[in-house]
Amino acid sequence: MPDYDAELNAIGLPCPLPVLRIRKALQTLEGGQTLYVVATDPDSLKDVEAFTRITENELLEAREEESKYHFVIRKGMTPK
């Protein structure tokens, strides 16, 4: 598994908690650092995509594997 600057386990959290936890976790990172997230909420796929788009963070990876959703997000260089 690649090295990430931070990891977030959002397994079992219902919408909108995964995105809220992602927002909080990204606040602890510097611009350009990466966050790995795993979630089980089926809505997280579209929610995380929308969140990264409107916050100018970069969604590097989004995939579903064995009913889990895996994301890699790079924090944007400008504060949002």
Catalytic option among 6, 15, 29, 62 = 15
Q: Are 39 and 51 in contact (CB under 8 A)?
A: no
d(CA 74, CA 7): 12
d(CA 75, CA 22): 11
Active site residue 1: no
Counting Cβ atoms within 10 Å, is residue 5 exposed (0-12), middle (13-18) or buried (19+)? middle
Residues assigned a catalytic role: 15
